[in-house]
Amino acid sequence: MSCVNDIVDKLINNQRINFDESLMLYEKADFLTLGDLAHKKRMTRHPEHDVTFVIDRNINYTNVCVSGCRFCAFYRSKHHADAYVISENDLFQKIQETIQLGGTQILIQGGMHPDLNLTYYLNLLQFIKTHFPTIHIHGFSPPEIFFIAQKEKRNIQDIIFALHQAGLDSIPGGGAEILCDDIRNDISPNKCMSDAWLNVMKSAHHIGMKSSATMMFGHIEKPNHIVSHLIKIRSLQDETNGFTAFIPWTFQPQNTTLSVKTKTAAEYLKVLALSRLILDNVSNIQASWVTQGAKIAQFALFFGANDLGSTMIEENVVAAAGVNFRLPLKEMIRLIHDAGFTPKQRNCYYQIVKTYG
């Protein structure tokens, strides 16, 4: 088996590392060595010294969900006093405000609501596009799409095509958690398993839709699960080239039924760096300031990240777990400048919309 120095040499020479090498790197490599390797990879792929971000809003169309994931503090049963389905008026106001604040897209997600059918989702998309034809709709995670397909007794491809025709532009990587079924069976047994998540993304990519990929770690997984998740994302990207970005973030335990110790910033940065090194075919690695805060997000720009995600005019899911970091546009620009980079606003496809000198 290779030693850590051999693996480092492979990475320096732009060679791909396999599962065993990735696991050894994660478990044995020096923290700063990982950061240095990841930063060099990031600067090789993005030598322009820019850091990108998008102005958008997370809109949760419902908080009703039958999945009952142990890590989620946001969902409610349909008879709960706080349960809701968004009204058209509220949706209109949220999108209008987003556009007024310079936003170019919305991220729209909800739960697995037992009473909402495909017609509801198609009408929702058509309503948005009718009133806001230029807004990019980044919406409906793979578990939501899988749930709709099961409810409608139709195949995944048909559901994705119908959503796309109605106005869905791209798919977020939510609901991935850890793409290992032994973990999923423990923390989210009522949600689609790993192969189904990957199949939704594969189906979307095959009709020309782009998506992001995520990983929520820091709960019951082991290092081998993290590496396995990354290898699965890399393998699908080899086949489809449909992922625009990868976003790892740490589980936030407050108000959930999972009692675990929150991962440290160093542990987060280590996984972030590993993501850049394993995912040699995914151009953009995003820092999670939402869970880590602004200061660690700056460190992340030297551990492989080239993107700071969204200004998040609104965010509810992580906030439900007691984490309420906020990063207004002015602060986002200052943070990037102070780290020595050029701030650039992008769209969902990582095309530059505006440069802040």
Q: Tens digit of pLDDT for each residue in 90-139?
A: 999 999 999 998 999 999 998 888 999 999 999 999 999 999 999 999 99
pTM: 0.93
Which SS3 state, helix, strand or coil, does residue 54 take? Answer: strand
φ, ψ of residue 63 in degrees (nearest 5): -110, 5
Q: Tens digit of pLDDT for each residue in 199-229?
A: 999 999 999 999 999 999 989 999 999 999 9
CB crowding 9-29: b at 16 or more within 10 Å, else e: ebbeeeeebeeebbbbbbeeb
Q: Tens digit of pLDDT for each residue in 276-298?
A: 999 999 999 999 888 888 899 99
Q: Write out the two tokens for 292.
A: 């880590």
CB crowding 65-78: b at 16 or more within 10 Å, else e: bebebebbbbbeee
Can you give the pLDDT at residue 140? 96
User: What domains appear along the chain, each with residue ranges and CATH number?
Assistant: 19-355 (3.20.20.70)
Rounded to the nearest 5 percent, the helix, strand and coil shares of the chain are 45, 15, 40
Percent of the residues in the chain that have a pLDDT greater than 90, as a whole number = 76
Please name the residues in contact with 137: beta carbons below 8 A apart, sequence gap of 6 or more. Answer: 105, 106, 108, 125, 128, 129, 167, 168, 169, 170
C-alpha 67 chain-centroid distance: 19
pLDDT for residue 252 is more than 90: no
Please name the residues in contact with 80: beta carbons below 8 A apart, sequence gap of 6 or more. Answer: 64
Which helix (H) or strand (E) covers residue 152, if one does? helix 142-152
Can you give the pLDDT at residue 322? 40
Tell which residue, 314, 189, 311, 179, has the closest CA to residue 248.
Answer: 179
Task: State how far the Cα of 305 lies from the Cα of 229, in Å rounded to an integer.
Answer: 18
